[in-house]
Structures are given as structure tokens and as C-alpha cells.
Structure 1
Amino acid sequence: MAQFTKETSTTGAFVRQPNRFTARPEPEPGRYRLVVSLACPWAHRAVIVRKLLNLEDDISLAVVDPIRDEKGWRFPGTDPVLNIDFLSEAYRNADPHYDGRVTVPALVDTTTSEVVTNDYPQITLDFSLRWRPESTLYPEHLRDEIDAWIEPIFHNVNNGVYKAGFATSQEAYEDAYTALFAELDRIEEHLSTNTFLVGDQLTEADIRLWTTLVRFDAVYHGHFKCNRNKLTEMPNLWAYAKRLYEKFGDTVDWDHIKRHYYVTHHQINPTGIVPAGPDPQAWTR
């Protein structure tokens, strides 16, 4: 579990490292390349927002191999735009002394091959605020409500599954498990009378929640021991997740998701066996 040693507290709780690169570049079509892993929920949200805001021609996309080893995220061959083999090279180009974990998503300057930002919460917001100010994903009149959902969803759900999965003490695990399902229960109740989290439209809050939901039964339920319920056993959340799958399910790569989690996390799954299920066709039935 070497790669997570620096992110484990003395009580055995997982504490995610802060984002080192937090610049907020002005829009310049063609200059920046979004580097993602299709396995990563934080990167997945950037892929979805880029797609929904029609930014594919403005910001190019690079997808790393789903298997991250001691060298970190690698490209499937030298990246033809950045001319690097590992994302870590772009990190070192920006800061030769960087010694933290190399994370995705990352926005990289194609003129210098330097990471500009790995600030995943801000990247998608800036796609709306700076690149597409007319976006309805983070509209000004709903911003306070969206933020009120984003905060607990991050702590208890998005990061909550990791806090359960990477806990090294029973107490830390149970704290994360309890907070996770309390939040999912709250959302389940909300969705009994609402189609979306905020108002009657898709927003940033929905996208952030959904990238965790879509991985829940395939990964977090078993691999991260978040096993009180499957997503399919929470009827309102399951129906909601399937509705959103109709909008951007084509951004999901089940092979990358499952191979990354089950093969990369040796401390959790030392055999490296990738489970055959669940059936992805359930999302379209």
C-alpha cells in the first residue's frame, strides 16, 4: 500500500492529498490537453462535462492506461501531442521537485507539456464558468443549492467510498461506511419526489454523484467493502442513475474501471483477479 502511505492518518483513516497545481487558465482553444483515466471517477466527470458542453474541439483528450504501477499513469505509447510517456513527466516539467501522487484529471499545456491544473473540483466548474459561461450545469441562480449538495456528496460519497476502502483501522472504516450510507439514504429520500438533485435540470451536482454511482456495484460494494446495499437495491437511486446513463453512458468503460481497481490495488486485492460481474446490460434494461 506504498502509494497511499502518505494519505493515511495515525488513526488509520484515508486522507486525500491536496491538489498541487491549481492555476485557472483562460480559455484558449487547442492549447490544453485533458489527461484522464477512464477508470477514475474524478476524471470521468471531466470527460462528461467536456462532452456535454461541446468542448471536444477546444480541449483535446488523452486517455492513460488503466493499470497504474510504481511509475504512475502511463500513456499507451508516447503521447503524440505532449511527446511524453508518463503523466509524471508533465508534473515534473511544471515542478521538478514534485514528490506527491500523480493524479488525474490533469489539464496540460500543449506548448510546454507542463501540468497547469490537477484541481479536479475546479476543472469542471471552469469548463462551465470560463469556457462555456452560458452553461446550465452550474447556473448562477442555482449555485448555492448545487454547492450545498456537492459538499456532503464529496465527503461522504465520492471520497467516502475511498475512505472506507483504504481505511487501515476498523473504526475509520466504520465511520466512513456509516457516513456513506447515511448520505445515500438522504439522497434516496430526496429522489422519491425529485428527478434531479437541484431543481428540474441536470447540474454539476448530478454529474459528481453519478460517477460514483456508476462504479458502485462493480467496484465499491465489494472491493471497498461498501456492502450494506447495492445500488440496484436502492430503487430511487438506481432509477436516477439509469436515467443519467441514457445521457452519457457512452463515456463509461467497464473494462478500464474494473481492471484498474482490481489489478492496481494490491493491498486490497492481492490476487489481481477481476470479477466477471455485474452485468453491464442491467444499465440499459
Structure 2
Amino acid sequence: MSKQWASKDDGAFKRQVSSFRENICHEHPIYKPAKGRYWLYVSLACPWAHRTLITRALKGLIPIIGVSIVHWHMDEKGWRFLTSEDQEVPFDINKASTINGGIETTNLNEYTPTGHIANDSSRPMIDGTIEPLYIYKRLSDLYYKSNPDYSARFTVPVLWDKETQTIVNNESAEILRMFNSGVFDEFVEDKSSIVVKDLYPTKLQKDIDELNTWIYDNINNGVYKSGFSEKQEVYEKEVTNVFFHLDKVERILHENYKNLETKYGKAEVSKHLDEYFLLNNTLTEVDVRLYTTIVRFDPIYVQHFKCNFTTIRAGYPFIHKWLKNLYWNYDAFGKTTDFNHIKLHYSRSHPRINPLGITPLGPKPDILQMNE
């Protein structure tokens, strides 16, 4: 997720195809699985990068693959890192082996005005982290180190190989599958840290692929096609399509919740939300991929991308219940979600949409409690 403006004369948004598409596996001649060899670069604002961070946590890979976090503000040169000069104390490399790279996440119970925060704010472990391998200032430096002739956009996530000093992959869906594949499982010492054994189980792969296809095109990317539309008629078509498919997700989750009520009784269903997911009572990559869009919907997409037919909390009770369940009951989701990064990035990094760079304070709270 870097410079998003790729509209043509028809006023429609076109997303760039990722450039680095290698895989990590035992059979690969170069990229073999190993502990500490690979490094993940993400933005906490970017939903595509967020899905890899969630999967890293669900699969117990936090001690295996380190993380660096880019600054939330994306300027005309793309993503940047904090520099070593920004650090009051030397950067602790161990913080890269935490669930979200050591970033201090938002306290949801506090009023957090953002007007005093400048785009060049350099609060260590709040606005971002340094790049610890080469002390690079820009994500683009990693792309040029991999390919001096690189000429496309500098997107996150980036999965880096420290041994060959190059990008392995920058396609989030493929990185997610790599982390899930099990090739790193042998290096996970604490097996209890593996929350989900397989996010892409064989018996559900056909259903997962089908859901991923229409959710990606119409919801994940749909909010962007709405927000970056440059003609009224294109916007109206795209935003209507987003909500048509949110309705479809709502029906699926409504049916799944009714099935749980039938199985356990209405009085007991709240005790069994560990079975409340999109497919077959099983947490899969479909939930991961949809979550990163839905958790951003009310705080930013409603106003910034004009996806304002309704909010998730007001208009979609079963999506809302599913969202809160993931956020509050699974650290991999809740502790990798930073609403300050999300709000500041979108509102400050897209001057064609929000030329004054005013960051919304609402909704408050950013996400409701489970019982609300």
C-alpha cells in the first residue's frame, strides 16, 4: 500500500500487481525455512500488511520472524522508518520479536487528540521503528538493494531474506500462505503459541478460495475503489457494491450465529464464540483477510472513503459481533490493531482526498466492548 493513485481516464482505481513472488520452502534452491533468517516490514495502517502480522502471531512465529514498522505517514517518497537519531536510547532488537514490533498501541479508554501530532513526528516505538538491519531511512532502500532498476511503487508488506539480502515476497496473500504452510513450525519451541494449526485446511480450500475472491474484489479492494474514484458515477457504483457484499457477509454470519444458538441455546451461545467464524465454525484465512478491512471501516472508511451508507456497529449486528470477538478474544487481532496509525495514515497521506489533513477523532471508542 503506497501511492494509491492509479486511476485512468475512466476515473476508476487500479491496484498495482506485486513484483517479488518467491516462496520459502524446503524444496526451494535458495529460500529455505530457518529461524531468524527472514524479516517482515509492515505498516500498522495498511490492511494488506496487517494480515501478515496477524498470521505471524496466530502461527506462533513471533520469535522466528522479526518485524519493523514504518512510520504511519506516507509522503511523496513513500514509507519511511524512524532513524537512529530519533531514539532516546539505543533500539532494542528484542522488541522486533513482539506481537507488533514493540509499538505502543492506543489506549482505547483515553481521549487521544491528534491535532498536535505533526506528520514528521518521531516518537520511538509509537510512530514507528528504525530499520535495524541496514539502518535505512526508507522502505524504497530495500527495494533498490534488491533490484537497483526497480521502477514500481514501494509497497508493504515486505518479506526480506537477511542471508541473500533481498526481498523474497511482497504479496500479502502469498506471505500469509507461507506463514501458514507449516514450514516454520519446527522452529516454534512453545507449541502452545500456535493458536491455529492451519488457516487453509484442505477440506475448506474450495470454500475459502471462493469467499476470498468476492470479498477481496468487492470489500477489501472495494472500499479503495469507492474512496479513490474520480468520477461521481464510478463512486456511486463502487460504494453501492461494497454495501451489497457487506449485506452478503452479514447473512452468512447471521446464519452461523443462529446455528450456534441451535447447538448451545441462546443463553449459552456467548460462551462459544470460539466457533463463530465465516466458515464451518473454524478460524481461517478468510476471517483474517476480512478483519483487516472491517476493523478500519467505522474509524476511517466511513468518512475518508465515503463508505457511509451506515457503520458496521449500527448497520451490521452480526459482522459487528464477529469483529468484536476477534479483536477482544484473540491477541493476534487486537494487539496488532493500532487505531492511531490507521487514522493518522489515511487522513494525512491522501491529500487529494483530504487536502487539509484533518484527522477524525471519532468514532469513540474506536471499537466497542464485547457486551456493548
Q: Select 1:171's aligned residue among 227, 233, 249.
A: 233
Q: Select 2:365's aligned residue among 257, 268, 280.
A: 280
Partner Cα separation in structure 2 for residue 182 and residue 36 of structure 1: 31
Measure how far apart 1:171 and its partner are. Answer: 2.1
Report the equivalent of 2:54. Answer: 48
Report the equivalent of 2:114. Answer: none
Q: Select 1:269's aligned residue among 330, 349, 354.
A: 354
Q: Residues 35 and 184 of structure 2 are in contact (CA less than 8 Å); yes or no, is this contact kept in structure 1?
A: no
Partner Cα separation in structure 2 for residue 256 and residue 176 of structure 1: 26
Trace 1:1-285 onto structure 2 (pairs within 5 A). Answer: 3-5=3-5, 7-26=6-25, 27-77=33-83, 78-131=130-183, 135-194=197-256, 195-233=276-314, 234-246=316-328, 247=330, 248-280=333-365, 282-284=367-369, 285=372
The root-mean-square deviation of aligned C-alpha atoms, in Å, is 1.6
**CA displacement 1:31-53 (0-9 Å, x = unmatched):** 11100000000111111110010
Partner Cα separation in structure 2 for residue 24 and residue 185 of structure 1: 36
Q: Residues 53 and 135 of structure 1 are in contact (CA less than 8 Å); yes or no, is this contact kept in structure 2?
A: yes
Partner Cα separation in structure 1 for residue 248 and residue 60 of structure 2: 33
**CA displacement 1:16-74 (0-9 Å, x = unmatched):** 00001111123222111100000000111111110010001111101010001122111
Measure how far apart 1:4 and its partner are. Answer: 3.8
For 2:318, the aligned partner's letter is N
* Identical residues among aligned pairs (%): 43
**CA displacement 1:127-149 (0-9 Å, x = unmatched):** 11243578321111111111111
Measure how far apart 1:169 and its partner are. Answer: 1.1
**TM-score, length basis structure 1:** 0.95
Partner Cα separation in structure 2 for residue 65 and residue 112 of structure 1: 26
Partner Cα separation in structure 1 for residue 44 and residue 250 of structure 2: 27
Q: Secondary structure at the match of 1:55?
A: coil
Q: Residues 38 and 252 of structure 1 are in contact (CA less than 8 Å); yes or no, is this contact kept in structure 2?
A: yes
For 2:77, the aligned partner's letter is K
For 2:7, the aligned partner's letter is T
- The alignment of Structure 1 onto Structure 2 pairs a total of residues equal to 283
Partner Cα separation in structure 1 for residue 52 and residue 234 of structure 2: 29
Q: Secondary structure at the match of 2:226?
A: helix
For 2:323, the aligned partner's letter is A
Partner Cα separation in structure 2 for residue 111 and residue 228 of structure 1: 49
Partner Cα separation in structure 2 for residue 219 and residue 131 of structure 1: 36
Measure how far apart 1:108 and its partner are. Answer: 1.1
Partner Cα separation in structure 2 for residue 201 and residue 65 of structure 1: 34
Report the equivalent of 2:98. Answer: none
**TM-score, length basis structure 2:** 0.73
Q: Secondary structure at the match of 2:11?
A: coil
Partner Cα separation in structure 1 for residue 279 and residue 134 of structure 2: 38
Measure how far apart 1:115 and its partner are. Answer: 1.7
Partner Cα separation in structure 1 for residue 9 and residue 181 of structure 2: 39
Larger Rg computed on CA atoms: 2
Measure how far apart 1:114 and its partner are. Answer: 2.2
CA distance 1:230–1:119, shift in 2 (3 Å): same
Structure 2 regions of 5+ residues with no counterpart? 26-32, 84-129, 186-195, 257-275
